[in-house]
């Protein structure tokens, strides 16, 4: 562990933002191929050009990385970044709608604000991409899931990766309060979407039967029932997870599970269905009757069963402090998860599953999307020294840092 941190990055990097070549010397590199200890990393024109002995001896920007580490840029796989500024100020909150006429058709990406002050705050701490997941306020279906990149020009990468559905106690409460009633309505919606898909022209011409959901919602569900787009289902109780797995099988849906606080109890079922899960490994409290089995080694037990993990967190700070996904990952490792598996859950796994423009890895030829950490990559006392997103160095600037500097000047007097 390091307690005294070098102060190189804040000043050096901002002056060399345009460096066309970067050499990081002797850092520990965490790649999907394995850990490379005390290894050089050379980046040229935004790409990883060489690793190890073949790196050049000089570069525009040279950083002594001994005792530091490099990982791919971090993903948080469940956030509302760019769609909320202050939660208690409803005018700034766009990640759910109370309009009952808009469910699966809501595209959270259309509300994304690339100038949100939350984005620089998160990227200076190593978050390079995040999944935007809408929340349910009127229906099980909350809308369409997007991927955003948090670089110097934050942008939406994918408008609609999946349709999100809330089958937690909250979602069920919106459908009349019984899981059984919610499932009736869910099957009806999926059947309707299939019917709509088969009779689209007649339906839009008003020459077909009525549906509960709007045409826009049914159109949004069409690729889901046709098996070309995943349904992302938030659910927690072990029996609810099984129910959703069975439903996905019946309807031949692609499925991603989210939250799964009791996932460890049905880990084998999830694994044999080959369904990836988005989880926050920090939870261990019986906060509700759907999470009586929550435990800190949920991530480890799921991974042991062969389930692909994607991480979010930490707890409800998954938007303003979405970078704290790293602390959740560290706690998963403290509770038994393999460290490279934990890092993959924030890098390669989401990059691949969500078809990101970066690899989520550190390999020659890849676009540089990475973080240099002052120490162990999961340690709470490690700080981001250098953040590169999609080949570009990110300036270490944020509203919080401006406030800090303003008041430190006053306190020094």
Partner 1 sequence: MKNTFLSTLIVASLLLMTGCSEYPGLDAPATRPNKDPYPSTYIVPDNAAFAILNANVLTGDGAELRDTDLLVRKGKIIALGTNLDLDASVSLIDAKGQWVTPGLIDVHSHMGVYSAPGTANHSDGNEMTSPVTAQVWAEHSVWPEDPQFEKALAGGVTTVQILPGSGNLIGGRGVTLKNIPSITVQGMKFPGAPYSLKMACGENPKRVYGSRNTLPSTRMGNMAGYRAAWIEASDYKKSWDDYISDAEAGKDVDPPSRNLRLETLEGVLQGDIRIHNHCYKADEMAQMIDMSKEFGYEIAAFHHAVEAYKAAPMLAENDICGVMWADWWGFKQEAFDMVRENIALVDYAQACAIIHSDDPIQIQRLNQEIAKAMSAGNRMGLDISPAKAFRWGTYNAAKSLGLEDKIGSIALGKNADIVLWTEHPLSVYSHASKVWIDGALRFDRDDPSVQPTSDFNLGIIKAGAVRP
Residues that bind partner 1 (CB under 8 A): 1, 3-5, 7, 84-89, 118, 282-289, 292-293, 295-297, 315, 317, 319-321, 324, 327, 330-331, 333-335, 378-383, 400-401, 403-404, 407-408, 411
Question: Minimum distance between the CB of residue 374 and partner 1, rounded to whole angstroms?
Answer: 8
Question: Minimum distance between the CB of residue 284 and partner 1, rounded to whole angstroms?
Answer: 6
Q: How far apart are CA 377 and CA 408, in angstroms?
A: 28
Nearer to partner 1, 357 or 395 (CB): 395
Question: Minimum distance between the CB of residue 408 and partner 1, rounded to whole angstroms?
Answer: 7
Sign, CA torsion 150/380/367/358:
negative
Nearer to partner 1, 10 or 273 (CB): 10
Nearer to partner 1, 59 or 241 (CB): 241
308: closest CA among 357, 362, 272, 355?
272
Burial class, 11, CB count within 10 angstroms (exposed 0-12 / middle 13-18 / buried 19+): exposed
Burial 170-192 (b: 16+ CB within 10 A, else e): ebbebbeeebeebbebbeebbeb
Q: Give the DSSP letter of residue 79.
A: E
For every residue of 355-366, DSSP letters joined together read T-SS-SS--TTS
In order of 183, 263, 271, the CA distances from 240 in angstroms are: 11, 10, 16
Find tokens 């099984």 and name the residue: 242
Question: Minimum distance between the CB of residue 200 and partner 1, rounded to whole angstroms?
Answer: 42
Nearer to partner 1, 334 or 364 (CB): 334
Question: Minimum distance between the CB of residue 170 and partner 1, rounded to whole angstroms?
Answer: 12
Question: Minimum distance between the CB of residue 37 and partner 1, rounded to whole angstroms?
Answer: 18
Helix H or strand E segment including 35: strand 34-44
Sign, CA torsion 196/197/202/204:
positive
Classify the phi-psi angles of 45: left when phi > 0, otherwise alpha if psi is within -120 to 50, otherwise beta. Answer: left
Nearer to partner 1, 6 or 176 (CB): 6
193: closest CA among 167, 147, 229, 244?
229
Nearer to partner 1, 256 or 309 (CB): 309
Question: Minimum distance between the CB of residue 350 and partner 1, rounded to whole angstroms?
Answer: 21
Burial 350-384 (b: 16+ CB within 10 A, else e): bbbbbebebbbbbeeebbbbbbbbbbbbbbeebbb
Nearer to partner 1, 276 or 281 (CB): 281
Nearer to partner 1, 122 or 359 (CB): 122
Nearer to partner 1, 226 or 335 (CB): 335
Find tokens 């309807």 and name the residue: 251
Question: Minimum distance between the CB of residue 405 and partner 1, rounded to whole angstroms?
Answer: 8
Question: Minimum distance between the CB of residue 60 and partner 1, rounded to whole angstroms?
Answer: 24
Question: Minimum distance between the CB of residue 302 and partner 1, rounded to whole angstroms?
Answer: 14
Coarse DSSP helix, strand, coil percentages of the chain, rounded to the nearest 5 percent: 35, 25, 45
Question: Minimum distance between the CB of residue 112 and partner 1, rounded to whole angstroms?
Answer: 17
Nearer to partner 1, 5 or 16 (CB): 5
Q: Are 319 and 118 in contact (CB under 8 A)?
A: yes
Nearer to partner 1, 148 or 351 (CB): 148
Whether residue 314 is preceded by a cis peptide bond, meaning omega within 30 degrees of 0, is yes
Helices vs. strands in the chain: H and E counts, helices first: 13, 16
């Amino acid at each position: 562990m390091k307690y005294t941190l070098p102060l190189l990055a804040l000043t050096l990097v901002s002056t060399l933002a345009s460096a066309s070549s970067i050499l990081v010397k002797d850092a520990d590199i965490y790649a999907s191929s394995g850990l490379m200890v005390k290894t050089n990393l050379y980046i040229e024109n935004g790409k990883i050009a060489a690793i190890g002995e073949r790196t050049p001896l000089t570069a525009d920007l040279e950083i002594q990385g001994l005792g530091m580490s490099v990982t791919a840029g971090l993903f948080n796989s469940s956030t509302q970044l760019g769609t909320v500024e202050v939660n208690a100020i409803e005018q700034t909150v766009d990640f759910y709608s109370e309009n009952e006429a808009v469910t699966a058709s809501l595209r959270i990406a259309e509300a994304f604000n690339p100038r949100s002050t939350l984005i620089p705050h998160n990227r200076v701490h190593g978050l390079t991409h995040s999944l935007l997941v809408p929340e349910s306020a009127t229906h099980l279906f909350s809308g369409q899931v997007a991927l955003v990149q948090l670089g110097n020009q934050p942008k939406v990468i994918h408008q609609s990766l999946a349709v999100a559905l809330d089958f937690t106690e909250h979602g069920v409460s919106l459908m009349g309060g019984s899981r059984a009633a919610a499932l009736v309505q869910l099957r009806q919606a999926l059947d309707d979407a299939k019917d709509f898909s088969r009779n689209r022209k007649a339906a839009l011409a008003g020459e077909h039967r009525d549906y509960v959901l709007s045409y826009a919602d049914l159109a949004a569900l069409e690729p889901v029932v046709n098996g070309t787009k995943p349904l992302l289902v938030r659910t927690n109780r072990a029996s609810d997870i099984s129910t959703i797995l069975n439903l996905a099988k019946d309807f031949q849906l692609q499925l991603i599970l989210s939250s799964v606080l009791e996932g460890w109890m049905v880990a084998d079922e999830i694994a044999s269905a080959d369904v990836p899960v988005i989880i926050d490994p920090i939870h261990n409290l019986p906060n509700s009757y759907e999470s009586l089995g929550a435990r800190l080694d949920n991530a480890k037990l799921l991974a042991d069963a062969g389930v692909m993990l994607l991480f979010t967190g930490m707890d409800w700070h998954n938007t303003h402090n979405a970078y704290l996904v790293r602390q959740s990952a560290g706690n998963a490792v403290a509770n038994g998860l393999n460290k490279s598996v934990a890092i993959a859950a924030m890098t390669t796994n989401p990059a691949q599953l969500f078809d990101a423009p970066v690899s989520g890895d550190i390999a020659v030829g890849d676009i540089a999307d990475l973080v240099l950490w002052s120490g162990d990559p999961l340690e709470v006392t490690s700080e981001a020294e250098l953040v590169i997103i999609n080949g570009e160095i990110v300036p270490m600037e944020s509203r919080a840092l401006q406030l800090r500097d303003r008041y430190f000047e006053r306190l020094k007097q």
